[in-house]
Structure 1
Amino acid sequence: MIEVQVTETINCPADRVLEFVMDPRAYAAVDRKIGAIDWVRRDGDVTEFRFGSKLPGLPGPAAKIVSRMSRTPGERVDVRLPPIPANRLANLVSEFSASWVCVPAGEQTAVTRTVRCGFKGPMKWLAEPVLRRTLRPDVEDEMRQAKAALEARQS
């Protein structure tokens, strides 16, 4: 299993960070792991969307998956993959979770982004060594871009 955790301090309130995360079409501009989005369904603090997922460093076309995000207002967004039949990819993944945890600090927010994933069978031996090298720089870049996008909106 691979786990990457990156913290970035962003000049905006936690609620704005979390609302940005809950909008997959907006967030896709800063996250290369989100490819073409087929649909988005939002009901209050839960967003589901289907998209082409591309993991950094892994060859091949983007795999279509459904992601479910749940927001705890002012605090965090947690991501899980709904089970089969919504996600055929679930046959290959032993675990996937992600989160954005916000800790307000005056006018700023410390945002900790965590991505955790593990694979089953042969995918474990193919994907995990690659992701050990490529996932951290990808998430660091994602957080730098999220910071820039959110702070640009503040102006």
Structure 2
Amino acid sequence: MDPRAYAAVDGKIGAIDWVRRDGDVTEFRFRSRLPGVPGPAPRVVSRMSRTPGERVDVRLPPIPANRLARLVSEFSASWVCVPAGGRTAVTRTVRCAFKGPVKWFAEPILRRTLRPDVEDEMRQAKAALER
């Protein structure tokens, strides 16, 4: 729930402009970097909601808080954590779909690049947590 700390392991989170927390909800604005997608990194507002001891869900707030929502038909991400033999098993999910012409450009790139990027993110997060 600390986007500044998590940015150290997630290359999709660029420079963070602000962070606002209210209980189990954190919103933050940052420069989004999609792996393999060239061009300027747009500013995005992201909303993380925590279900204590279970999961964190991420969504994009609607317009006007998030201008990127005009181009994205779906974005969701989550971390689901379950105890597993004295350890914790984590399932990381990222879903992203675009509207209009951006869809034909960005989605084929993300089909190739997003999975390896998320796998690297999880390796880095595991190493950071174990330190």
TM-score normalised by the shorter chain: which range applies?
Answer: over 0.9
CA drift at 1:30: 0.2
Give a deviation string over 1:66-95, Cα, whole Å, max 9, x none: 000000000000000000111111110010
Consecutive unaligned residues in structure 1, runs of 5 or more: 1-21
Q: Secondary structure at the match of 2:94?
A: strand
CA drift at 1:102: 0.2
Pairing 1:1-12 to 2, within 5 Å after superposition:
none
Q: Secondary structure at the match of 1:97?
A: strand
Residue of structure 1 in register with 2:42 after alignment: 63
Residue of structure 1 in register with 2:88 after alignment: 109
Separation (CA, whole Å) in 1 of partners of 2:84 and 2:113:
30
Which among 94, 98, 101 is matched to residue 77 of structure 2? 98
Residue of structure 1 in register with 2:127 after alignment: 148
TM superposition score normalised by structure 2: 0.98
Q: Which amino acid aligns with 1:102?
A: C
Q: Which amino acid aligns with 2:120?
A: D
Q: Secondary structure at the match of 2:14?
A: strand
Q: Does 1:49 align with 2:10?
A: no
CA drift at 1:107: 2.9
Separation (CA, whole Å) in 2 of partners of 1:133 and 1:42:
34
Separation (CA, whole Å) in 1 of partners of 2:87 and 2:28:
29
Residue of structure 2 in register with 1:74 after alignment: 53
Percent identity between the two aligned chains:
89
Give the length in aligned residue pairs.
131
Q: Secondary structure at the match of 1:130?
A: helix
Separation (CA, whole Å) in 2 of partners of 1:63 and 1:112:
27
Q: Which runs of 4+ in 1 moved over 4 A?
A: none
TM superposition score normalised by structure 1: 0.83
Residue of structure 2 in register with 1:39 after alignment: 18
CA drift at 1:61: 1.4
Greater RCO between the two (CA within 8 Å, min separation 6)? 1
Separation (CA, whole Å) in 2 of partners of 1:98 and 1:119:
15
